[in-house]
Chain A
Amino acid sequence: MIKYEEGGQMQKADVTIIGAGVNGTVIARELSKYKLKVLLLEKNAEVGLGMSARPAGWIQAGFGWEGVLRNKLIGHGGRMLPQLMKKLDLPLSGEGSLTVGRTKDNGQDLEDLKMLLSGAEYYGIKGLRIIEGKELREMEPNLSREFDIALYAPMEVAFSPWELVIALMENAKENGVEVLLNTKVENIYQNSINDIIIETNRGSIRSRYTVNAAGVWADVIARMVDKNFPPVDSFEGADQWIMDKRARKLVNHVIYDIRVWIGEKRNDSSERLDVPAGFIGGEVDDTLLFSYAPSDRKSERDDLSTSRYSLQRTVPLIKRLLPTFSPKDIIRYFSAVVPIREDFIIGPSKTVPHLINVQMDYPGNTCAPATAKLVTKILANQGLKLVKNSRFDPYRKAIPKIRELSDEKKKELVAGDKRYGHIVCRCEHVSEGEIVEAINRGARTLDGIKYRTRAGMGRCQGGFCSPRVLQILSRELNVPLTEITKRGKGSELLMFKTKELLVKKGNFNE
């Protein structure tokens, strides 16, 4: 808890991290390997409610992306990510991806696929290969015959982007990082090189170093101390759709139309022209996600709305890949906002050298372990002493998922805590035990429960379970139901008790 005490005593820290998305949490965990007082600030009521939870959860091999720093981080990060997932007890699934093209049309697609392959090899990425004809058809029986060549990337497996953020946060907390939710940075200034003052809505912090990992807001934070830091003036985001698990068998791999990475047409100087193309793939939870590229331009930094026409535009793109595709099994859709930049920005502020700015967009999740190492190195270069924390425990255990356990393990779990036998979320088979454990680990809102347990992510989207989850939150946190929110203050779900309005209006005798 930050307190601004009388006499000017503020909360002190060695490193304060602004933003608890995938970058903030992975950096927090990395720093917890050293003897440092680390604070992780998050303006929302839960971690990971920003953009980190939103991308399709597929590890990126590292082809088709632009930017030197980006490609370096994808390569290193992608290699480290599976190990990190294991330590954090997070599942990976799927058979990798296929970027598909056609041999007809003057062979441009094959040229492009080969270019992607050699670009990846340049950055040291091994294991990709070109597939064609019969082998491709066997791998993807539902793929349109129009596509007969593909770049196969077996390492592009699925993971859960929001579970990654939560797991990183939990492990960082276990190792001594203090997480401060509902804490929004309002101003930053430097007293002296080793003394940064961070003013928040809940008091001030005095920190020797600061990491600005505020995502789409990072340039706003950076500009608080340096007006010459380049502002982001355009944002992009794509609508994404999730389909019922019943549709999962449509594809075995993540399928990208080659034009997702490279435009169909080229002008005379061989510049890429963005032409829409679709992609679709299985998520780690066995739902199917589909979307399109290039992304839409968004007008506002916090514009999370989905567009009216995007589905109409996207269905034909997916049908081109998979003629039997039907949008009838859509259970959810959402949108994201990311800053448009040519390359990632990771480095010390020009005016406050102990403030390290981190502003990235896709694929931040794949890069995360490498980003953490890079930021730590930059902090060390700026003089931060790194003394090993001998009590650092890299392992974190996930909340047991009763639906995935064998009969024996199910019985054991229920015998230990009856509440694991009471199924609350009907669609995803989530038990009361899991919901209570999520609250014990810090969930305070309906979305917090949803992201930690999947309750509310199924086909009925919380229609059955949300009244029950609200009751459990109210009971465990000992707060009235009217105070429970969807995702923080301002998103309360139940506004009044019954009869409250009538009493106010004088229509009802108590």
Chain B
Amino acid sequence: MNNKVDVLVIGAGPAGLAAAIKARETGVDNVLIVERSEELGGLLHQCIHDGFGLQYFKKDLTGPEYAYRFIQRVKELGIDYLLKTMVLDITPKKEVVMMNAEEGLLRLNPKAIVLAMGCRERTRYNIHIPGTRPAGIFTAGTAQRLINVEDYLPGDHVVILGSGDIGMIMARRLTLEGAKVEAVIEILSYPGGLIRNEIQCLKDFDIPIFLGHTITEIHGLNRIEAVSVSKVNEDFNPITATTRKIECNTLLLSVGLIPENELSLNAGVSLDPISGGPVIDEDMQTTIPGIFAGGNVVHVLDLVDNVSWEAEVAGLSAAKYILGELPSFSRTIKLGAGSGIRHILPSFISGQKEVTLYMRVSKPNQNVILKVTDDIDKNCLYRKKLLAVRPSEMLKLKLTKESVQSLGKQSKQLIVSCAGGK
């Protein structure tokens, strides 16, 4: 095993694959991808529905088909990879410790690292659902793997908590397998995923969605038998008088994703408390020089196309870093979330080149104006009218080189806002 690794990519999901390919295409010889699972492609393998690649490839692909194109490219380029290999630690000195069955323990000192570990799913315990702890409770992603990859159906009488994309997709999937999905329960007053999924997964299959409701208790000793469901008030507290039981033998949880940054913390990378991911600049570099990040480990993206584009920036930057071509800027401008915006990425830009900003709004709205303004002199760099926005659909905008270079020398912060409308 060659210890001379230039770029080490942790994770072979869509982000890791894209970053590795880009790094290699930019001229780096020794790129190594490390993946803890049994194959390349990450979670795309279990996403057998379509809708992937509409933007990136201008084609409507399934998850495995999207992954396949990147996997083929990895093999074409002869990029090395290790499977069933778990990275145990990244030290503050950028030493990467990993284990697998063939080679046991490995310690590598790559010149640059790309973090592409993705997310984990929020559990029932993270949201404090009281009651018993029987079998039959699964996070939606785990259930998806069990059905689509392992070939087993967890149960046939299902309730789903959370109307995020994965929850809605699983509602359809379970129905297609012959299960009865009683309801999708959503605590907010609007569905949490893409409109496309609302229609194609719930409406088309007559699966009811209870907005403004939550699960207040789980029943059943050995296997789940029922859930108690209640309406919630404006503070999201359950209204006891509305509580009723829905019988089921399976509960799926689609209640959020948490970027998996244990290794990032070990390495000493600073994390952003709102996104849960590393603080990054426009080159997708973290607060530690030589450590880059891309994909869901930075922030939860809703389209895999954006994951690939973003991770390519990380791969490109990692390559440039090694080749000595990554400029370090003396001036950095912070990006702040203004009215109507929940979170914006990257956290810092140089103000010297064009940059794509990714953001999510904090609540659904219509007829809004998306604006980027200089905090000091109030100059507006970007302005666009949007008909409808919702938190589940990530927005992106491009600031041109001219517009960022037009910023005055005293500019320290840009505010992105999304206001107006009803």
Is the pair A460, B123 in contact by a Cβ cutoff of 8 Å?
A: yes
Binds A, one of B25-33, B61-69, B215-223: B215-223
- A411: contacting residue among B88, B105, B141, B216, CB under 8 A: B105
In the complex, chain B residues whose CB is within 8 Å of the CB of A426: 36, 86
Q: Given A330-B126, A492-B135, check contact A429 B88 (CB 8 Å).
A: yes
Is the pair B105, A410 in contact by a Cβ cutoff of 8 Å?
A: yes
A410, A432, A461 — most chain B CB neighbours (10 Å): A461
- B135: contacting residue among A305, A485, A504, CB under 8 A: A485
In the complex, chain A residues whose CB is within 8 Å of the CB of B126: 330-331
Is the pair B152, A306 in contact by a Cβ cutoff of 8 Å?
A: no
Closest Cβ of chain A to B302, distance in Å, is: 20
Say if the beta carbon of A311 comes within 8 Å of chain B.
Answer: yes
Is the pair B121, A423 in contact by a Cβ cutoff of 8 Å?
A: no
Say if the beta carbon of B108 comes within 8 Å of chain A.
Answer: no
- Give 1 or 0 for each of B101-120: 1 = CB within 8 Å of chain A CB: 11111010000000000001
**Alpha-carbon separation in the docked complex, A411 to B102 (Å):** 11
Say if the beta carbon of A131 comes within 8 Å of chain B.
Answer: no
In the complex, chain A residues whose CB is within 8 Å of the CB of B320: none
**Alpha-carbon separation in the docked complex, A402 to B97 (Å):** 14
- A306: contacting residue among B102, B131, B223, B249, CB under 8 A: B131
Q: Given A467-B145, A491-B222, A505-B178, check contact A461 B123 (CB 8 Å).
A: yes
Tell me the count of chain B residues lying within 8 A, CB to CB, of chain A.
51
Residues in B136-180 with C-beta less than 8 Å from chain A: 136, 139, 141-142, 145-147, 149-156, 177-179
- B121: contacting residue among A305, A331, A463, CB under 8 A: A463
In the complex, chain A residues whose CB is within 8 Å of the CB of B177: 498-499, 501-502
In the complex, chain A residues whose CB is within 8 Å of the CB of B155: 495-496
Is the pair A487, B142 in contact by a Cβ cutoff of 8 Å?
A: no
In the complex, chain A residues whose CB is within 8 Å of the CB of B249: 495
**Alpha-carbon separation in the docked complex, A470 to B151 (Å):** 13
Whose C-beta in chain B lies nearest to the C-beta of A246?
B265
In the complex, chain B residues whose CB is within 8 Å of the CB of A333: 125, 128
B123, B179, B216 — most chain A CB neighbours (10 Å): B123
**Alpha-carbon separation in the docked complex, A505 to B179 (Å):** 11
In the complex, chain A residues whose CB is within 8 Å of the CB of B245: none
In the complex, chain A residues whose CB is within 8 Å of the CB of B265: 246
Closest Cβ of chain A to B115, distance in Å, is: 15
Say if the beta carbon of B100 comes within 8 Å of chain A.
Answer: yes
Is the pair B100, A421 in contact by a Cβ cutoff of 8 Å?
A: yes
Is the pair A495, B156 in contact by a Cβ cutoff of 8 Å?
A: yes
Residues in A408-430 with C-beta less than 8 Å from chain B: 410-411, 414-415, 418-423, 426, 429
In the complex, chain B residues whose CB is within 8 Å of the CB of A485: 135
Is the pair A463, B86 in contact by a Cβ cutoff of 8 Å?
A: no
Say if the beta carbon of A500 comes within 8 Å of chain B.
Answer: yes
In the complex, chain B residues whose CB is within 8 Å of the CB of A462: 142
Tell me the count of chain A residues lying within 8 A, CB to CB, of chain B.
64
Say if the beta carbon of B134 comes within 8 Å of chain A.
Answer: yes
Say if the beta carbon of A4 comes within 8 Å of chain B.
Answer: no
Say if the beta carbon of B406 comes within 8 Å of chain A.
Answer: no
- Give 1 or 0 for each of B209-252: 1 = CB within 8 Å of chain A CB: 00000001100011100000000000000000000000001100
Closest Cβ of chain B to A170, distance in Å, is: 25
Is the pair A463, B132 in contact by a Cβ cutoff of 8 Å?
A: no
Say if the beta carbon of A332 comes within 8 Å of chain B.
Answer: yes
Say if the beta carbon of B99 comes within 8 Å of chain A.
Answer: yes
- Give 1 or 0 for each of A480-510: 1 = CB within 8 Å of chain B CB: 0110011111111111111111101101000
Is the pair B120, A414 in contact by a Cβ cutoff of 8 Å?
A: no
Closest Cβ of chain B to A241, distance in Å, is: 9
Say if the beta carbon of B92 comes within 8 Å of chain A.
Answer: no
Whose C-beta in chain A lies nearest to the C-beta of B85?
A423
Say if the beta carbon of B385 comes within 8 Å of chain A.
Answer: no
In the complex, chain B residues whose CB is within 8 Å of the CB of A410: 99, 104-105
Q: Given A426-B86, A486-B134, A486-B135, check contact A421 B223 (CB 8 Å).
A: no
- Give 1 or 0 for each of A431-459: 1 = CB within 8 Å of chain B CB: 11000000000000000000000000001
**Alpha-carbon separation in the docked complex, A302 to B128 (Å):** 21
- A418: contacting residue among B102, B135, B136, CB under 8 A: B102
**Alpha-carbon separation in the docked complex, A491 to B121 (Å):** 23
In the complex, chain B residues whose CB is within 8 Å of the CB of A496: 152-153, 155-156
**Alpha-carbon separation in the docked complex, A501 to B123 (Å):** 28
Is the pair A305, B153 in contact by a Cβ cutoff of 8 Å?
A: no
**Alpha-carbon separation in the docked complex, A463 to B99 (Å):** 21
In the complex, chain A residues whose CB is within 8 Å of the CB of B136: 493
- Give 1 or 0 for each of A394-409: 1 = CB within 8 Å of chain B CB: 0000000011000100
Is the pair A502, B125 in contact by a Cβ cutoff of 8 Å?
A: no
Is the pair B86, A471 in contact by a Cβ cutoff of 8 Å?
A: no
In the complex, chain A residues whose CB is within 8 Å of the CB of B221: 302, 304, 490
Q: Given A460-B121, A497-B151, check contact A421 B132 (CB 8 Å).
A: no
Closest Cβ of chain A to B136, distance in Å, is: 8
Say if the beta carbon of B383 comes within 8 Å of chain A.
Answer: no
**Alpha-carbon separation in the docked complex, A325 to B114 (Å):** 33
Is the pair A311, B128 in contact by a Cβ cutoff of 8 Å?
A: yes
- B105: contacting residue among A414, A419, A486, A488, CB under 8 A: A414
**Alpha-carbon separation in the docked complex, A414 to B105 (Å):** 8
Is the pair B152, A334 in contact by a Cβ cutoff of 8 Å?
A: no
Is the pair A407, B125 in contact by a Cβ cutoff of 8 Å?
A: no
**Alpha-carbon separation in the docked complex, A470 to B104 (Å):** 24
Is the pair B150, A490 in contact by a Cβ cutoff of 8 Å?
A: no
**Alpha-carbon separation in the docked complex, A402 to B146 (Å):** 27
In the complex, chain B residues whose CB is within 8 Å of the CB of A504: 178
- B178: contacting residue among A407, A422, A501, CB under 8 A: A501
Is the pair A501, B156 in contact by a Cβ cutoff of 8 Å?
A: yes
Is the pair B152, A482 in contact by a Cβ cutoff of 8 Å?
A: yes
**Alpha-carbon separation in the docked complex, A136 to B346 (Å):** 44
Say if the beta carbon of A466 comes within 8 Å of chain B.
Answer: yes
**Alpha-carbon separation in the docked complex, A305 to B132 (Å):** 4
In the complex, chain B residues whose CB is within 8 Å of the CB of A304: 132-133, 221
Say if the beta carbon of A307 comes within 8 Å of chain B.
Answer: yes
Q: Given A305-B130, A460-B120, check contact A467 B142 (CB 8 Å).
A: yes
**Alpha-carbon separation in the docked complex, A471 to B126 (Å):** 26
Is the pair A414, B152 in contact by a Cβ cutoff of 8 Å?
A: no
Q: Which residues of B line the A interface, CB within 8 A? A: 36, 84, 86, 88, 99-105, 107, 120-121, 123-126, 128, 130-136, 139, 141-142, 145-147, 149-156, 177-179, 216-217, 221-223, 249-250, 265
A/B interface sample: 25 pairs, CB < 8 A = A305-B131, A305-B132, A305-B217, A306-B132, A311-B128, A331-B123, A403-B88, A411-B105, A421-B102, A429-B86, A432-B101, A463-B120, A463-B142, A464-B142, A487-B222, A491-B134, A491-B135, A494-B146, A495-B153, A495-B249, A497-B151, A501-B153, A501-B156, A502-B178, A505-B178
User: Besides the contacts A331-B125, A421-B102, A463-B141, what 20 more A-B pairs have beta carbons closer than 8 Å?
Assistant: A305-B217, A306-B132, A414-B101, A414-B104, A418-B101, A418-B102, A421-B104, A431-B99, A462-B142, A464-B120, A470-B150, A487-B222, A489-B222, A491-B222, A493-B135, A493-B154, A495-B154, A497-B152, A498-B152, A500-B178
Nearest 3 CB-CB pairs, A to B? Answer: A501-B178, A423-B86, A486-B135
